[in-house]
């Protein structure tokens, strides 16, 4: 009986391990991404505020399609960027 239980356990472990594939490596793009941006200034401000920033000001759309401006995060000043995909980053 112990032999059957041990065999079942070995079979279970080998089937479990055989079904697991390695996670593929995913390339992470450098953000902000440059490209044609369709956000208006009001939409860009709202998007940045939704990311947790306050006092968003001085937003300017660059020729690379990235909105840049100033804001505050947790009370600290920050230079923020918003790309065409909605990625909000700081400089």
**Sequential pLDDT tens for the chain (91 residues):** 555 555 555 555 555 555 555 665 554 557 888 989 999 999 999 999 999 999 999 999 999 999 999 999 999 999 999 999 999 999 8
Whether the full predicted model's pTM is greater than 0.85, yes or no, is no
User: How far is Cα 36 from Cα 20, in angstroms, rounded to an integer?
Assistant: 40
Please report, to the nearest 10 degrees, the dihedral formed by the alpha carbons of residues 3, 8, 11, 14 taken in order.
-100
Query: How many separate helices (H) and strands (E) can be counted in the chain?
Result: 2, 4
């Amino acid at each position: 009986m112990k032999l059957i239980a041990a065999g079942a356990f070995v079979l279970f472990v080998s089937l479990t391990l055989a079904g697991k594939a390695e996670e593929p490596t995913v390339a992470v793009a450098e953000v902000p991404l440059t490209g044609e941006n369709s956000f208006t200034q009001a939409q860009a401000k709202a998007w940045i505020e939704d990311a947790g920033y306050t006092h968003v000001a001085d937003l300017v759309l660059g020729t690379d399609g990235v909105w840049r401006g100033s804001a505050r995060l947790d009370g600290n000043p920050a230079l923020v960027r918003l790309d065409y995909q909605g990625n909000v980053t700081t400089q």
